[in-house]
Amino acid sequence: MSDAGGGTAARVIYDGHIVRLELMENKWEIVRHRDAVAVLALNDQGEMLLVRQFRRAVDALTVEAPAGLVDDGEDAAQAARRELQEEAGLDGDMERLTHFYASPGFCDEALTVFHATNLRESRLPHDEDEEGIEVLWMPPAAVLDGLKDGSLTGSASTVTAALYGVLLGLQRAQARP
């Protein structure tokens, strides 16, 4: 039994590698989920880095910011750098943009979004190409259009990173002579 807040004990229904399902007072189903990160990366042309990949949970191809779970022993910034390397073969300096809960009504997964700057090519020593991941660079206007028309699908962290990316890309474009 764990304390799920407010002094109410919860009964564990399922305890897996990524999620844990608890039942409180025989009516509240609470998902305990490992924390995650997403990375906003813009190239010198102001284009935003996105990845296209198949996601089994939704049985569809999604277009997302590089993202993933925080592994044991990592902090969020380390996880963001690792995900950027694994999914796009890039590394950079990480600046924390925001931190939020995607679905606090039933899940405690916290998402941290980082802005990667000073991008450079980099692969982890054990890295192989992530199977089925396609790297895309999109201008801010195309990202905004994709968010509006639904062609850019992914997660709350992706939408947050995309909106930050659009704002930064537009600011860069306006600042150019």
Residues serving a catalytic function are 128
Closest by alpha carbon to 107, among 139, 155, 53?
155
Dihedral sign computed on CA atoms, order 81, 83, 84, 89: positive
Which H or E element spans position 67? Answer: strand 67-69
* DSSP assignment letter at 129: P
Please give the order of strands across the beta sheet that includes 67-69: 67-69, 36-41, 110-121, 90-101
